[in-house]
Amino acid sequence: MEYLLFFILGALISVLSGFFGIGGGFILTPFLMLIGYAPIEAITTSLLFTIGSSVSGIIGHIKYKNIQWKQGLILGVSGIAATQVAHPFVVFLERNHMDEWAIPFMYVILLSYFSIQMLRQGSVHSKSEAVPSALTSLIKMIAIGFFAGFVSTSMGVGGGFIMVPLTVAFLRFMPKKAVGTSLFAVLMIVTAGFFTYSSSVSINYAVGLVLLAGGLLGSQFGAKLTNIFLNREITLLLGCLYVSTLVSVILKAFHLNVMGLIVVSLFLFFFFITSLMRLRKHRVELREN
């Protein structure tokens, strides 16, 4: 029964991964900490899961031509370099018994910022396409990739939850392109991060593989959903996801773990009900046309 629940959890999170381009780790890591995993074990398990969900999501986004390969490669390579800096930082936190508060604190700061960014951008229609050929854009890509890679390895996330809003804000990517390109970069980052951690951290591989199996199931469905939502709607939903995860992390800090799980569950319920209704409407429109 426990493995079945982890399989379902992996599938649900991977739908969000394919839809938002976030890899899924930034939801899974705090969830695992909510149910009692040590931060460094939650980080390593999430990185393993994100490898699978990213691969599946990429396959789905290739079909819809949402991946800008050159830009994704630059973001990914920059992120890989950052993983080698972040790992010693996390080990330092753990050895000095600072990880229990430092990692959740970083979540709160970053989620607060990106919640505001996504909700603000989601209220404005954007028709700009990415123009990443200038030197300034190259520098921005390297900086975004490095920052996302550092946060990915420090917090057990794919880096996509940072990369998507930053590429939209600073590189003028349309949200759907940002999602697909982010997943490609995230795959490179989390693979490097996982192998860096796995050499020194012991995790429950059975749980990790069950999560991964569920992840392979859901990401392509999430990628398909991006085709029936507007860019502005994706941005607004991502902002709401950030807010719900932020609230859950804050509640955990006050030892209200159950309340944190309820908050995340409410967002998941809202997202999946909305998606199913939109998918049904889309199919009806296709039949009528």
Q: For the chain, how long is the longest CA-to-CA vector?
A: 63
Instruction: Dump pLDDT digits (tens) for 244-286.
Output: 888 887 887 787 878 887 888 898 899 999 999 988 888 888 8
Instruction: Dump pLDDT digits (tens) for 3-17.
Output: 898 998 888 888 887
Nearest to 79 by CA among 165, 190, 198, 201: 190
198 exposure class (CB count in 10 Å sphere: 0-12, 13-18, 19+):
middle
> What number of CA atoms fall less than 13 Å from residue 155's CA on the CB side?
32
> What is the signed CA dihedral for 87, 19, 35, 267, rounded to 10 degrees?
140
Structure tokens at 236: 């607004």
Whole-number mean pLDDT of the chain? 82
User: For residue 143, what pLDDT band results from cuts at 50, 70 and 90?
Assistant: very high
Alpha-carbon distance of 237 to 216, in angstroms, equals 22
Instruction: Dump pLDDT digits (tens) for 70-117.
Output: 999 999 999 999 888 887 887 788 788 886 778 778 778 877 887 787
Alpha-carbon distance of 217 to 29, in angstroms, equals 19
- pLDDT at position 133 is 52
CB count, 10 Å around CB of 62? 14
- CB neighbours of 253 closer than 8 A, spacing ≥ 6? 101, 104, 108
